[in-house]
Chains A and B, each alone.
Chain A
Amino acid sequence: MAQPSAKPTPLLKDELDIVIPTIRNLDFLEMWRPFFEPYHLIIVQDGDPSKIIKVPDGFDYELYNRNDINRILGPKASCISFKDSACRCFGYMVSKKKYIFTIDDDCFVAKDPSGKEINALEQHITNLLSPSTPFFFNTLYDPYRDGADFVRGYPFSLREGVPTAVSHGLWLNIPDYDAPTQLVKPLERNTRYVDAVLTIPKGTLFPMCGMNLAFDRELIGPAMYFGLMGDGQPIGRYDDMWAGWCMKVICDHLGWGVKTGLPYIWHSKASNPFVNLKKEYKGIYWQEELIPFFQSAILPKECTTVQKCYLELSKQVKAKLGKVDPYFLKLADAMVTWIEAWDELNPSGGDSTKLPNSTTK
């Protein structure tokens, strides 16, 4: 039976890092100050490392520019994208915390229909700390929310749920559309506040957006590689998509859940659709091959850790997607480099959560 949460959501201020990629400035943090100030920030500065990014006073942070990334990773730095917000995954790698919340620097505090400001971080924490239900769809959405529960017909044996690995938030105002949709509907704004959190069922893929995202780094961190994008690469704006598909296949395999829905943030900036089109162009075609690949990807049961799953996926990427474009051969290698780098920087927690006799339904 789902228990209503009587206790307030814990802050987790010593267990959560906020990872922010930026190439411009961090002015947006002022609006988030009431919610973010207790937390440690990891700023990943993309672009020109000689530019000084000013962090507003009062925040506790560490900042990495490209020189730092090169220094820390050496030759393995090749797996971290340049001139693309995909570089944020470097922040995941160097974090020492259990949870990560990542947000874009053009995302602001949204208001719910009553006019109250939304503490997005608190909602993400609630999502991550309560179970997911990927094996059977609950028509009243998240059964662990106040005022909700499992519906009639929901098997009792599935009501404990499974650990939640990822919490995927949404966006009011500028929705996360691709370039063609932006071109056709330049004025469309998302004004619909959908008051729901739900678990994405096992076996179902989705487009994971990195603008407003939280995850259990100890559980799924190594799978959150945002790929090779940006400078020198044939593709952009598919970093989070790639991570999301790899992550979902692995979560499905290991029996963990992925939630989507609340919280909303206010996305203020519409990027240039023509620029986006150039970046996404190849992705739009390649996607048609990628989706069947991920939908049919099978991980052998010997893959009991995230790293093993990820390395197995990289082999399959090389074998099956190499023929789509040589880019995928490079990407497969980068996936391996990423895991090597992850394990180097995270030695003791290297085997992120082995599962004791797990029976994945």
Chain B
Amino acid sequence: MSQASIKDIEIDIVIGALHSDLTSFMNEWRPVFSRFHLIIVKDPNLKEELQIPEGFNLDIFTKSDIDQVVGTSAALHFSGYSCRYFGYLISRKKYVISIDDDCIPARDNKGVLVDAVAQHISNLTTPATPFFFNTLYDPYRKGADFVRGYPFSLRSGVTCALSCGLWLNLADHDAPTQALKPMLRNSRYVDAVMTVPARALMPVSGINIGFDREVVGPALFPGLRLAGEGKVRWETVEDIWCGMCVKVVCDHLGLGVKSGLPYVWRKEGGDPIESLRKEWEGVKLMEEVVPFFQSVRLPRSAVTAEECVVEMAATVKERLGPLDPVFARAAEAMVEWVKLWKILGAGSSSTRVQET
């Protein structure tokens, strides 16, 4: 019902272009994307010209645009997979959907093409239920409901701020896993969306996400940058880092995060053994990062996403900074990002959220 009332004009699709030839990508997504406005951000490190087919309503941003708008920032880097955050910054829409440029639409168990955008929007416009787990998963889906024993006072749910989709074929595994199981492909289409419970942390993959920019925009940023960060997903943790920030922010503000549908089909690529040769920096860092996020507590005075990020940046600097300079840099990036957001993020994101 709510999906009909969300106009297409409230949605931006942000694509970080890490490959110059986007022809087949855009053509595969044409049935899904053509209704919407697209923001394509070209990875500043990409030398070749972008090739994009006709027939889309889009704006393209390149290195010179980024430099002009952001200036030269020591802390913030919009390169590699992080180029998309520039798109999040300058978007003026309520909802942003972002998909990696090596993914194409998946097909469900009946062979029907999955409209990932429609599913993300459905997730974002129906409530989330983080305070109690519903064993039949999303109670707002057709054919489902709350089960016996689910408290009635919790059945109206809360706003869903983030929708994390999944991947068929090449799932989002790290390099060690991929190297050890080179034949591992995800062929299991799990027909469920569920709310990730409050206080439960998870790895948020940036490959296929949607979010309510008005409410959590400031919490999705290029913060944690690995020294050996590269051009394959398993050489980055930038999305994992800000994903945990977003979850902590959502838990604090009483917002929900959903995981599950939609699936996208992720194409083959990269050599995990090659990636293994680089330092397992990301893997080692996670061991510090997870206990930290599990114990972070934000003050009651932080009632917007910006305020939460600023508080978190201070805590990151104080508690993680001494462990590794990469964290001190992340804290700086978070502070810079919020400053930028306040100037450029259209201010609509300082929506006060009712405390539950």
Chain A residues within 8 Å of B, Cβ to Cβ: 1, 113, 136-141, 145, 147-158, 168, 170, 175-178, 181, 185, 188-196, 200-209, 237-238, 240-241, 244, 260, 280, 284, 287-288, 291, 361
Contact = CB atoms under 8 A, between A and B. Distances in A.
A361 B290 CA distance: 11
Contact of A151 (B132, B135, B172, B199): B172
A291 B132 contact: yes
Interface in B162-178: 164, 166, 171-174, 176-177
A242 to B, nearest CB: 9
A176 B148 contact: yes
Interface string B281-293: 0010011001100
Given A190-B136, A206-B135, A207-B149, A151 B173 contact: yes
Interface stretch (B33-41, B96-104, B187-195, B296-304): B187-195
A153 B286 contact: yes
B200 A192 contact: no
B191 A151 contact: no
Nearest to B286: A155
Contact of B166 (A113, A139, A194): A139
Considering the complex of A and B, which 6 residue pairs feature the smallest CB-CB distances, nearest first? A207-B149, A153-B203, A201-B200, A153-B240, A137-B202, A204-B197
B205 A151 contact: yes
Contacts of A181: 145-146, 148
Given A153-B240, A170-B136, A287-B149, 19 more contacts: A1-B176, A139-B172, A139-B259, A147-B185, A149-B177, A151-B171, A151-B173, A152-B177, A155-B287, A178-B147, A191-B143, A192-B141, A192-B192, A195-B188, A195-B189, A196-B190, A206-B133, A207-B134, A260-B133
Contact of A152 (B151, B174, B198, B200): B174
B132 A195 contact: no
B109 A260 contact: no
B151 A288 contact: yes
B230 to A, nearest CB: 13
A151 B154 CA distance: 30
B210 to A, nearest CB: 15
Nearest to B257: A137
Given A136-B290, A153-B237, A188 B145 contact: yes
B148 A178 contact: yes
A150 B135 contact: no
B148 A237 contact: yes
Contacts of A136: 200-203, 290
A11 to B, nearest CB: 25
